[in-house]
Amino acid sequence: ESVKFWLWSEISSIYFSTMDILLACGSFNPITNQHMRLFELARDHMHRTGQYQVVSGIMSPVSDNYGKQGLVLAKHRTAMAKLALQSSNWVTVDEWESQQPDWTETAVTMRYHHEQILKRYEQSKPTFTSSDKNIASLSGENRTITDVPPQLKLLCGADFLDTFKIPGMWRDDHVEEVVGRFGLICVSRGALQPERAVHESDALTRHSGSIHLVREWVRNETSATEVRRALRRGMSVKYLIPDSVIEYIHQHNLYTEDSERRNADAVLRPLAKQARPEF
C-alpha cells in the first residue's frame, strides 16, 4: 500500500505541477547571503503548494547605467555573484542584462529569458508516443514534464513590490506583463506589508492569482547598503556575505568613500527613461 501511495504521489506531482524558473533582478551591490536565501525560500514555498516544480534560478545583475548610488561596475557585481553562487546547484548568474548598452526594463529582461527558455525547451524536447507523452524522465530530482515549457517568474523582496507605485518608475503595460503574463514571487522584508501593496494596486489585485507572497519567518534585514557602509568603515561583514566575496572586495578595493559617491546626483535610469515622451 505504501509503495502504491508513493507511486501515486510521485506521478501526480509530475502530472499536476508546472515547472518554474525563478528570475531575480537587482543591483546585487554586493550579493548578500539573503539574496541567495530568497531563492531557497521561494523554492520551498512553491513546492509546498504542490503545484509547482522549481527547476532553476537565475540572478540577473542590473547594468552599469542604472544610475543607483554607489553602484560598482557590473563586471565586479557579476563576478561576486558567481563566486557566491558556487555553493548553489540550481541558481546561476546571467550576464545578458548587465552587458546591455543601456539599462533594460525588467519586462524586457523577462522577455529575453522567456525566449531563451523556449529555445532550450524546443531543442531538448524528446519525441513521444501517445501513451508516454507527459513524462520525459523520472529519475530522482531530474524528472521533467515535457508537454509544457517551464514558466518564468520574477523573484523579489517586498521593497521591490513597493516600487510599482512610485510615479514614473514603471510603465503600466510592463507591470501588467511582469505580473500578468509571467508571475511574481515576493518574499517579505522587515516590516513591509506586501499584502497591502497588492491590495492598494488595481493592477496587482487584478493579477493576485499570479502573485505568490512568501513569509520569511527568520526575519533577516541584511541589505547591500548596510554591507557597503560596514565595508567603508572597515568593519566586519563576515557571515553577511560569503568569504569568497569578502576576499574579492578586498582584492579589488571595491567599496570606498569614492565608490559610494558614484551616481550620487544621478536620476535613476527608469525615472529618466520613462519621463521621455517618445518612450
Ligand X SMILES: Nc1ncnc2c1ncn2[C@@H]1O[C@H](COP(=O)(O)OP(=O)(O)OP(=O)(O)O)[C@@H](O)[C@H]1O
Ligand Y SMILES: NC(=O)c1ccc[n+]([C@@H]2O[C@H](COP(=O)(O)O)[C@@H](O)[C@H]2O)c1
| Residues contributing to the site for ligand X (CB under 6 A) | 24, 26-29, 34-35, 38, 156-157, 159-160, 187, 189, 220-225
In whole angstroms, the minimum distance from the beta carbon of 116 to ligand Y comes to 17
Q: Which does residue 256 touch among ligand Y, ligand X, none (CB within 5 to 8 A, set by kind)?
A: none
Residues 169-208 that bind ligand Y (CB under 6 A): 169-170, 174
C-beta closer to ligand Y: residue 12 or 225: 225
In whole angstroms, the minimum distance from the beta carbon of 35 to ligand X comes to 5
Q: Which residue in 19, 21, 22, 25 binds ligand Y (CB under 6 A)?
A: 25
As given in the structure block, the three cell numbers for residue 175 are 507591470
> Is residue 270 close enough to count as binding ligand Y by CB under 6 A?
yes
C-beta closer to ligand X: residue 113 or 189: 189
Residues sharing a CB contact under 8 Å with residue 134, sequence separation 6 or more, in sequence order: 14, 15, 145, 146, 147
Q: Which does residue 163 touch among ligand Y, ligand X, none (CB within 5 to 8 A, set by kind)?
A: ligand Y
Residue 58 sits at the vertex; the CA angle it makes with 94 and 179, to the nearest 5 degrees, is 120
Q: How far, CA to CA in Å, does 37 sit from each of 6, 89, 225?
A: 30, 13, 17
Residues sharing a CB contact under 8 Å with residue 140, sequence separation 6 or more, in sequence order: none
C-beta closer to ligand X: residue 71 or 145: 71
C-beta closer to ligand X: residue 14 or 23: 23
C-beta closer to ligand X: residue 38 or 117: 38
Give the pairing of strands 184-187 and 52-61: unpaired
Quote the CA–CA distance of 171 and 274 in Å, as a whole number.
7
* Helices and strands of the chain, counted as H and E runs: 12, 8
In whole angstroms, the minimum distance from the beta carbon of 156 to ligand Y comes to 8
In whole angstroms, the minimum distance from the beta carbon of 187 to ligand X comes to 5
Other beta carbons within 10 angstroms of residue 238's beta carbon come to 9
Quote the CA–CA distance of 224 and 226 in Å, as a whole number.
5
Quote the CA–CA distance of 242 and 244 in Å, as a whole number.
5
> Is residue 26 close enough to count as binding ligand Y by CB under 6 A?
yes
Residues 102-131 that bind ligand Y (CB under 6 A): 105-107
Burial of 87 by CB count in 10 Å (0-12 exposed, 13-18 middle, 19+ buried)? exposed
Q: Which residue in 19, 62, 84, 240 binds ligand Y (CB under 6 A)?
A: 62
Q: Which does residue 270 touch among ligand Y, ligand X, none (CB within 5 to 8 A, set by kind)?
A: ligand Y
C-beta closer to ligand Y: residue 140 or 277: 277
Q: Which does residue 201 touch among ligand Y, ligand X, none (CB within 5 to 8 A, set by kind)?
A: none
Displacement of CA 201 from its chain's centroid (Å): 21
As given in the structure block, the three cell numbers for residue 94 are 546571467
C-beta closer to ligand Y: residue 194 or 270: 270
**By the criterion CB under 6 A, which residues form the site for ligand Y?**
25-27, 62, 66, 68, 105-107, 163, 169-170, 174, 270
